[in-house]
Amino acid sequence: MKILVGYKRVVDYNVRIQVKPDGSGVVSEGVKLSPNPFDEIALEEALRLREQGVASEVVIVAIGAADLQAHLRNGLAMGANRAIHVSTSDAVQPLTAARVLLKLVEKEQPGLVIVGKQAIDDDSNQTGQMLAALWDRPQATFASKLGISGGKATVVREVDAGLETLEIELPAVITTDLRLNEPRFIKLPDIMKAKSKPIEILELASLGVSSGDHLKTTHYAPPPKRGKGVMVKNVADLVAALKNKGLV
């Protein structure tokens, strides 16, 4: 079985996000870019399935600018067999990403698609669900445990009330949550081996997918600064202060 993994590049989670002075977006020039943490978990799970003998090949997919090569090499060093770079200079929203993945699914015919439940830059939590709808195949989101047997996937997923277990037929789409696994550390020999692994480059237009935005963000603004705290002498003063603010 072949597994297709979405592998998005985002601003590193340790970077303090700064809004551009004109409010047109966030500053991405000169900041550290890293794999989306949820996508790293998706890749790690695909690699573990391959090591268990469930899958024979793991293919990572990234959509973005021409400088994605280093990002894809990171996924190859982690253990993916090969990579596909869908090249575009335009920002890609979830529906466009899902349509791109659908074209690659039709081309690659994977038995399973694994993506992170959301990207930490836009927090949309939509691409996996949209892909499943376009592909007309089952989906299991927020996976915290995954097992594959007999052409079916058993997925334990995190929901508000606790844990829910689903059994779905393959091919299917699975989105990963934080507690599914811990991604492996990349060693220097693996980085060297990744240099010889293939990266296929496809232009977005060649897939017949439009990169036009479906949603338009009109303005970005940083969150308001927190006000100074107020010291109170006792509980009565605390309750009075909360009443004055309309909080109780």
Which pLDDT value is given to residue 66? 86
How is residue 33 written in tokens? 């870019």
Q: Can you tell me the distance from the alpha carbon of 92 to that of 207, in angstroms, rounded to the nearest whole number?
A: 14
188-244 pLDDT, tens digit each = 999 999 999 999 999 998 998 877 667 778 888 888 888 788 888 999 999 998 898
* Percent of the chain with pLDDT strictly greater than 90: 65
Q: What is the pLDDT of residues 75-123, one digit of tens each?
A: 999 999 999 999 988 888 899 999 999 999 999 999 999 999 999 988 8
Unique residue bearing structure tokens 């007999």 = 150
φ, ψ for residue 219, nearest 5 deg: -165, 145
The torsion of the CA quartet 183, 187, 191, 197, rounded to 10 degrees, works out to -60
Q: What does pTM read for this prediction?
A: 0.85
pLDDT for 112 equals 97
Dump pLDDT digits (tens) for 30-89. Answer: 888 899 999 999 999 999 999 999 999 999 999 988 888 889 999 999 999 999 999 988
Q: State the Cα–Cα distance between residues 121 and 218, nearest whole angstrom.
A: 17
CA distance 239 to 85: 58
